[in-house]
Structure 1
Amino acid sequence: MSRHLFDADLGSNRIRVTVGYDRPSEQFFLIIGWINTKTDDVFAYAADLQLAYDPNDWRSIRRFLDNLGVVYPESVWTELAYDAAAKKGCRVIRHLSDGTMRELLVV
């Protein structure tokens, strides 16, 4: 399973967004975590969001985040599309707002 992480704002809250591609199910997923700005720890998650997007189409996740007003690095979608096309898994990539990426795990 690939995972692409980035931090963003949702209203007045700081969030950590994880999107990814799961090879066995051939589906995409979205997890939103709320960040404690004092510790940078995630203290609450929303993961059961499949009613809000189509897990077979990463573009529906992008539309869902657009509707929430979440600003994201474009590299997230380029890399997520690559993962699905190449059937890549075992990648964890941190995407920064300046467009750079940090590989946290690649197997």
Structure 2
Amino acid sequence: MSRHYFKTTYAGKPIEVLMGFDRPLNGFFMVIDYQEDPEDDDDEGLVYSNLWERNPHPDSLIPYLEKLTALNISVPTEMLLEIEKDGEVKMGNKDVRHAMVDGTYTRTFIG
């Protein structure tokens, strides 16, 4: 499974978008999770999970791109292109953190 992480905000709160390719299920996935505030005991949970969908592991990123657009959440184009490539080669065992800092894209391989 390839996993790509991107931290941003949604509705004024910090979130993390996790997207990737699941090799055993031969499809893509996406989970958007509120980041926990250590001072706040009220965990709001998930913004979105692909498991809520009728087809939770599509063979294209299109449903997830549409969901990101509907939620007004942006992720780096470079991240999306890498995830698509992961699907093409049926990538497994890969973890990458993507970031945008002051308009500059960075990519860190973490495993």
TM-score range, shorter chain: 0.7 to 0.9
Pairing 1:83-98 to 2, within 5 Å after superposition: 83-97=86-100, 98=104
Cα root mean square deviation, aligned:
2.1
Partners of 2:29 and 2:57 within 8 A in 1: no
Q: CA distance change for structure 1 residues 49 and 75 in 2, over 3 Å: closer, same or farther?
A: farther
Q: CA distance change for structure 1 residues 9 and 51 in 2, over 3 Å: closer, same or farther?
A: farther
Q: Does 1:100 align with 2:100?
A: no
Poorly superposed stretches of 4+, deviation over 4 Å: 51-54
**Residue in structure 2 matched with residue 11 of structure 1 by the alignment:** 11
Please list the CA deviations of residues 15-72 of structure 1 after superposition, one character each: whole Å capped at 9, or x if unmatched. 1010010111111111111013557xxx533433325977221122112101100021
Q: Across the two proteins, how many residue pairs are aligned to each other? A: 102
Deviates more, 1:18-27 or 1:51-60: 51-60
Identity of aligned residues (%): 25
Q: TM-score, structure 2 length as denominator?
A: 0.80
Gaps of 5+ in 2: none
User: Which is higher, the Rg of structure 1 or of structure 2?
Assistant: 2
Q: Secondary structure at the match of 1:66?
A: helix
